[in-house]
Chains A and B, each alone.
Chain A
Amino acid sequence: MDMILNPAALTLVCTHCGNPVPSERRNGFCCNGCETVYQILSTAGLGDYYTLKETGVCFKPSQPITFSSRQFTFHVDQPLVKFYLEGVHCSACLWLLERLPQSMPHSVKTCSLNLNRSVLTVELVSTEQINSVAKMINDWGYIPHLIADSDEATRKIESENRKRLLDLGLAGAIAGNVMLMSIPLYSGVGGRFETLFEVASFVLAVPSLFYSGRVFFKNVYSGLRSKTFPIDAPILLALIVAFFYSTDSLIRGTHQLYFDSLTALVFLLLASRYYLARLRQSSRLNLGVLDFFQSEFDGKPGDLVQLQKGEKIRFDGIVRKGEGWCDHSHFTGESDPVRLQAGDSVFAGTVFLESEGEIWVEVRQTGKTTRLARLLEKVADVQSRRTITELKSDQWAQRLLLLVSSIAVVALGYFFTHGMAEEGIRRVLALLIVTCPCALALATPLVFSLSMKSLLKKGLLVKDPAAIDSAPEITQIYFDKTGTLTEGRLSACVDLKSLSTKDSSALFSLVRLSRHPASRSVERAFAEQSVMASVIDWSSFEEKAGMGLIGAHPDQHDRYEFIRAEASESGMTESVFYKNGTLICRVSFEDSIRINTKPAIEKLKRCNYKLALLSGDQDRAVEKLAHQIGVSSFFSKQSPEQKSNFIMNAMMVGDGVNDSLALSSAKVSIAVQGGMEAAIQSAQVYSLNPGIELVPEFLTISKRVRSTLRQNFALSTSYNLIGAVLSLSGHMNPLIAAILMPASALTVFWSSVIRLKERE
């Protein structure tokens, strides 16, 4: 079977969310959730949302989200609450969400949305209404997550930003005023006025250096305490020398003032650092969305809980009564449902599919002691063991700093012994300022931030910039199978057209009554192969959960059975369709390959990457897939621990919790969508688009980042070399150095920005 679907099916997009509509749905929506949201919005008179959406600005790639109506059990003490919303992506979302007070005037006083951070701040009329408001937001198609306002990290970042901005503003105002004071000094105003302007610029320089510039003192102090050579040391030294030298000459009346260079330097340094910090923050996303595991299950060990069809299980437990089927695919990557009987274990993070009658489960572990939580903890362990890639530019900057400091000391000694003390101070000051490796040290994180931002625009969320750093060295790429290369859901292989109309109608009528994934996939096959079938009203129908379906025809007294067969030699799951005990056809099930898998694999092969499959699935299934997509090497039946051994120096592309160990051991790891939040937590990069489509893109950008870094290195080295020669030979005074240094930093910044943008 050729797995490339009809591309025409892709052009149909969902009226609500804009994602492709699966070919079996014909109503213009990708899922029932979207259809429901559309109806809710239309009846509430908020249909303008869709017109605004067409003309509006898009801020983030929209992600497919499965909407479902649900109840919330949030509890708050204050009427002012903040939600992190999944699914906010464009200006129409802003319009819609800020209609909340109009839609619920008795619950919501005011609300405002921060588009950039997807955070909605709501002022409630009373705290009890939080759950009805959350439900309304959920009904509109956004998944609300309550953010505790006591979130230390966020508040700290916010107050840090404000402090930085205040320092920057003050330093800027002072630098501007000192420049003004300096104009009359340079143009040769004499006498009393000269003293006035000199004193005024001194008074202004004090808060600039000791208040706005206190961050330099802090950095140097903490650097020295941790016994590394702080990158700000020469700058701080230059600032202090310039300040005291100028103050001294003010007192002695020698008119050698550097207050203008000093304040300008403080302002420009703070400005470039503020800009960098904001850039870096904006490329990060709030992913603290793991509340699903901790907060929403109130049971305690020992409780007996009845499982509902389709429920996501939130605890570990043991089945006490009843039988059923459970989907472990998110957990183990195994696409077949697992049978549950009394005495079997169920795990948090799995999905309960269906049961015969009632099924009761005894809760054993909840919250942080579940197997899932412990797996997550192990992942966190691996992460903390991995040393953060020490950026090469940092090491280089350290060496440069030491070199410059020793040159400065030697030069000072030379000038003092040759009776040129004053000239010597000027030259060494200029040297210290002009050779500051700040440009390189700051441009390196800037390059990473910019590339992270442009990757985010494409749909790749980079959690750890080290991934971009080490990706150009990758030659081997391992792919997980289920959910990564494949859709992660079963599809039925059966030629329905070969059946007689009566038989196919019988099959259709059987499977439509069942919620089992295999039955669903047969039903989809009817739509995909455009086979018409009439619905039979069974005189008796029986579903043996997970085993099969039996129906008796009312008129002809025929008995149809659709039964799970024992695993065949091919290793694939099969079902058989019987009529009165005679075999009509066999149906085999497989996980279909994503449409975007093949083109991406071909792109990667063209770039000479070595590709391999790594899966926990059966040999045959893996081999077949490897053959279909043209990958020659594959490893099947791999446990998570085995997987993690393979990939120390390679790139891993996967999803699902069973990959998370492998993902965190890999040199570079990408989680593609469809996996659980755990995979996002453990992988360095997370793809918002399903499938491996963006992997080649990521590798290209990472290579571009590396070449940009090299260019920056060359640029700043030549800057420093020329600057050092000029200042030591006395052709550069400290003011020019103070302007040149940030100017050189800006050239490096801009060249990075242009290089990263030009080929976007």
Chain B
Amino acid sequence: MDIIWYLVPSALLIGAGFVAIFIWAVRNGQFEDLETPAVRILFEEKLNNEKEKQK
């Protein structure tokens, strides 16, 4: 059961890692506009198809 002495801190470390990623994402503005990218991705797909057709 001594493994818990290592498991608990490492679990907290992994958690802290995800918190760090979250902080980066917020600072980077990933949560600023939640609607437009969802719409935009549909157009890009259509454009790629057009380009492939042109090839």
Contacts and interface: CB of A to CB of B under 8 A. Distances in A.
**Interface size of A as a range:** 20 to 34
Interface string A102-138: 0000000000111111000000000000000000000
B1 A193 contact: yes
A32 to B, nearest CB: 29
A583 interface: no
Given A95-B43, A166-B23, A200-B12, A193 B33 contact: no
Interface string A216-234: 0000000000000000000
A158 to B, nearest CB: 7
Contact of B8 (A56, A94, A98, A200): A200
B26 A162 contact: yes
Contact of A91 (B26, B31, B39): B39
Interface stretch (A11-19, A169-177, A727-735): A169-177
A170 B33 CA distance: 21
B24 to A, nearest CB: 11
Given A193-B1, A196-B5, A200-B12, A116 B36 contact: yes
A57 interface: yes
Interface string A48-82: 00001000110100000000000000000000000
Contacts of B40: 94, 98
Contact of A169 (B22, B32, B33): B22
A180 B7 CA distance: 12
Contact of B26 (A116, A169, A193): A169
B52 interface: no
Given A91-B39, A98-B40, A200-B8, A114 B23 contact: no
A165 interface: yes
Interface string A381-415: 00000000000000000000000000000000000
A613 to B, nearest CB: 42
Contacts of A52: 43
A634 interface: no
Contacts of B22: 166, 169, 173
Given A177-B15, A193-B1, A94 B26 contact: no
A48 to B, nearest CB: 9
Contacts of A204: 12
Contacts of B1: 193
A204 to B, nearest CB: 8
Given A193-B4, A196-B8, A113 B36 contact: yes
**Interface size of B as a range:** 20 to 34
B14 to A, nearest CB: 10
Given A158-B32, A200-B12, A169 B39 contact: no
A181 B12 CA distance: 10
A538 interface: no
A457 to B, nearest CB: 14
Interface in A85-107: 91, 94-95, 98
Contacts of A116: 33, 35-36
A181 B8 CA distance: 9
Interface string A163-197: 00110011001001100110000000000010011
A390 to B, nearest CB: 34
Interface string B1-27: 100110010011001001100110011
Given A165-B31, A196-B5, A115 B39 contact: yes
A115 B23 contact: no
A56 B22 CA distance: 32
A193 B31 CA distance: 39
Contact of A94 (B15, B18, B31, B43): B43
Contacts of A196: 4-5, 8
17 contacts: A91-B42, A91-B43, A94-B36, A98-B40, A98-B43, A114-B36, A115-B35, A116-B35, A117-B33, A162-B26, A162-B27, A166-B22, A169-B26, A173-B15, A173-B19, A196-B5, A197-B8
Top 3 A-B residue pairs of the complex, sorted by shortest distance between their CB atoms: A115-B36, A91-B39, A169-B22
Interface of A: 52, 56-57, 59, 91, 94-95, 98, 112-117, 158, 162, 165-166, 169-170, 173, 176-177, 180-181, 193, 196-197, 200, 204
Given A173-B18, A196-B8, 20 more contacts: A56-B39, A59-B35, A91-B42, A94-B39, A94-B40, A94-B43, A112-B36, A113-B36, A114-B36, A115-B35, A117-B33, A158-B32, A166-B22, A166-B23, A166-B26, A169-B23, A170-B19, A173-B15, A177-B11, A181-B8
